[in-house]
Amino acid sequence: MDAYQSFMEAFDIHKEQLFDWGIKNTVFPSTDKVEDAWNNLLYRIYNNQEVYIRGYGRNGHATSLYKDFYSFLLGNEHVKEDPTNNSRPKRNIEKITGLKRNQNIFNYQVSHIFGCTKNVFLFEAPWNVCYVPKILDPFTGHEAKGTYISEYQEIFKKEALSRYKKYIDEYNLIVEKLQIRGKVEEYIQKLPKEVEDKQIQQFKEDCLGEFSFITA
């Protein structure tokens, strides 16, 4: 029993038409603007400049684990927690698209296409952020479940993969070269004994998930 499916059937809304409308009305940053913003992000990451991630744990209490990990992994000591968990991506997409919510674009929200918002390469990645019509939040929100949701998210991500293949391939190569699994294990060995085993295990699982390859 799926409430979304029942609603669409009751009002004779065909999912294919809705899905097509959703993709056409999502604002994906143009690839020419993505190029410069992506290169700028990589420069900041690798040159110990300010970059942002979303807070980790309840009220961001464990974000320091990621900050320390990036210092260990990349030599970057200027990884910051986004003050609102979305202000930096919001600012970036406004700059790239020239569109600002409630000024020249209405009833849209800033959404991460592939998630992984604690991943320093992906939180600000211009090809991982778009404007989604708020009416489609039931299909793109991280809490959404069901067959229709799975179908739409697959179409949504395939569209992004098609548009941004060059940058996604580059990102996947970065992940491969970083050898994240081994680096996470090495980092964990350096953690102070006061950090609880349960928290360490959770961080390990989450971090490896954050650095998964992006595939179709």
Average pLDDT of the segment spanning 127-135: 96
Can you spell out the DSSP letters for 85-116?
SSHHHHHHHHHHH---BTTTB-SEEEEESS--
d(CA 154, CA 159): 9
Residue type, 58: R
Which residues neighbour 50 within 8 Å (Cβ) at sequence distance 6 or greater?
Answer: 44, 78, 80
**pLDDT at position 142:** 66
Instruction: Return the minimum-mean-pLDDT range out of 56-60, 75-79, 83-87.
Output: 56-60
Q: Are 213 and 172 in contact (CB under 8 A)?
A: yes
Of residues 169 and 3, more confidence is placed in 169
Global pTM value: 0.93
